[in-house]
Structure 1
């Protein structure tokens, strides 16, 4: 069994069983990928993929178990390489952050500038996606850290750990001429009477909007547009499609034709959190990034939050 064979099988699975796409990502040929996967299956004595002719169409139950372990082996192999790199190049490496579009624009830039000023030799990259997507990137090893201010459906425990940094409230984005802009205080009934434009995750029942509605007799409201991109929400608010329910932290990007009214008192705040794999090797520069993003996340505090062992009670 070779690591290359495991890598080919895992990448094929990640590419939705498209061997051509997997081969392109791996910079090799399609026949080469297919051959190595066949050799792996023959050695294991089980079929990983179900085939229809030459096409792979599904994963077998045994294949799912193999792929899960294979992903873990590949991540651990990368960790071993990183350990060697960490001890020979303490200030060099790569750091990939996955975050939502709102955080990428309004919360991340200042931290990134501060970090790169101190770590110019670190290759830094940012990926964007919805809350569940960026958490999946961390689970797959495609990102080192996810930064989210919104709920995810993933559970935290053995594989994922999170560091809560701060809390964000919500605001209503309105045209300056909108009737709600003239109210001394906006209530939930005022908001849900209007067509709403908000983030996709707000459609979940356990999101702040759903929890707020659960406290009233109103069980539903009209969502005119759901999108993860604040710029898109702002554009359609300007067009008069409805009112926007957005993070209160977007104050510096308000268009001159719009107004932002804080309604944090109506909704449960969301926590801005850093999400990492439990087995992530934290290099010196990753600790430094945490502290750049949130000064209270010192190395000592991070280690305590992530790695503090449970307290055993040996009393009788």
Structure 2
């Protein structure tokens, strides 16, 4: 048995048993991969994959157990490399962050700037995507850390911790009749065209659920993943925007008497949302990764994160507010 064989079977499983894609990903030949997998199966005495001709069709029952062990071996190998990096470069490296647009645009600038001030030799790489893509990037090692509201707690191989709570707000043109209403109702919002997030982003499911529970059908005329886009179309009069509160809190275009847009809190209608931070279970985290997590939220500490990473999967999770 050798690490090449482990990498080949692991990548083949990740690539839906497509050996052509596996060979491209690993920069090697398809026959070489097939031969290495066959040799590993022969040494183990079990078939890892069911075959149809030369094609892999599915993973066998013992194959699933083999892949679980291979995953642990490769994870620990990555940890060994990170430990080496940590001690060779105590205060240098790259922090890779996977997150959504809202977090990258409104939440992370201050923590990233603070980290760079503390660790000027640390470069930061931001990867933006859907909450599910964020989770996948942490799982496959593209990112050291993930931050999102949805999806992260759905993955057993991720350790997720509560980061901070936030609520939605309604954004309206200053001249809109409802701009004078300080406490909006679902009925008032349902009677207006609405502009909101795509269903997989930024608490949109909570918005849909609140209307459905009241028996109302909102008129969503435009969906976007970017709060700035939502505000732009609201400014043009297409409808009332529903965005995360961090998208308006420090907006200089909304904080003066002559502003085109105003905002009203609607947390009483849609409830609180909980942003979570995620790490790959069992991963070794360099100190500046832990430092960054502490800068993101005062709920987090290096000790709490390290302890959570060591805990077995399936333990009690922090409250999720229904997300």
TM over 0.5: yes
Spell out the pairing of 1:36-75 with structure 2 (5 A cutoff).
36-75=36-75
Counterpart check, 1:198 vs 2:197: yes
Q: Residues 198 and 244 of structure 1 are in contact (CA less than 8 Å); yes or no, is this contact kept in structure 2?
A: no
Shift of 1:100: 1.1
Are residues 87 and 250 of structure 1, via their aligned partners in 2, closer, same or farther at CA, if it must alter by over 3 Å?
same
Match of 2:143 in 1: 143
SS in 1 for 2:279: strand
Counterpart check, 1:246 vs 2:243: yes
- Over residues 41-68 of structure 1, what are the superposed CA-to-partner deviations in whole Å (9 max), with x where a residue is unaligned? 3333333334444443433333333223
Shift of 1:78: 0.7
Shift of 1:227: 4.2
Structure 2 alignment gaps of length 5 or more? 316-323
Match of 2:225 in 1: 228
Match of 2:210 in 1: 212
SS in 2 for 1:201: coil
Q: Residues 165 and 273 of structure 1 are in contact (CA less than 8 Å); yes or no, is this contact kept in structure 2?
A: yes
Q: Residues 10 and 71 of structure 1 are in contact (CA less than 8 Å); yes or no, is this contact kept in structure 2?
A: yes
Match of 1:189 in 2: 187
C-alpha distance in 1 between matches for 2:73 and 2:284: 15
Shift of 1:103: 0.3
Q: Residues 224 and 242 of structure 1 are in contact (CA less than 8 Å); yes or no, is this contact kept in structure 2?
A: yes
Q: Residues 200 and 227 of structure 1 are in contact (CA less than 8 Å); yes or no, is this contact kept in structure 2?
A: no
Spell out the pairing of 1:72-111 with structure 2 (5 A cutoff).
72-111=72-111
Shift of 1:108: 0.9
C-alpha distance in 2 between matches for 1:76 and 1:4: 15
Alignment: residue pair count: 306
Shift of 1:258: 4.3
Counterpart check, 1:279 vs 2:282: yes
Shift of 1:277: 3.0
C-alpha distance in 2 between matches for 1:195 and 1:62: 55
Counterpart check, 1:290 vs 2:287: no
C-alpha distance in 2 between matches for 1:68 and 1:225: 43
Are residues 142 and 63 of structure 1, via their aligned partners in 2, closer, same or farther at CA, if it must alter by over 3 Å?
farther
Shift of 1:75: 0.8
C-alpha distance in 1 between matches for 2:223 and 2:68: 33
Are residues 92 and 193 of structure 1, via their aligned partners in 2, closer, same or farther at CA, if it must alter by over 3 Å?
same
TM-score (norm 2): 0.78
Counterpart check, 1:134 vs 2:131: no
C-alpha distance in 2 between matches for 1:280 and 1:67: 18
Are residues 147 and 52 of structure 1, via their aligned partners in 2, closer, same or farther at CA, if it must alter by over 3 Å?
same
Q: Residues 172 and 261 of structure 1 are in contact (CA less than 8 Å); yes or no, is this contact kept in structure 2?
A: yes
TM-score (norm 1): 0.80
Bigger shift: residues 23-32 or 223-232: 223-232
Are residues 11 and 114 of structure 1, via their aligned partners in 2, closer, same or farther at CA, if it must alter by over 3 Å?
same
Are residues 81 and 186 of structure 1, via their aligned partners in 2, closer, same or farther at CA, if it must alter by over 3 Å?
same
Are residues 152 and 277 of structure 1, via their aligned partners in 2, closer, same or farther at CA, if it must alter by over 3 Å?
closer
Shift of 1:308: 8.7
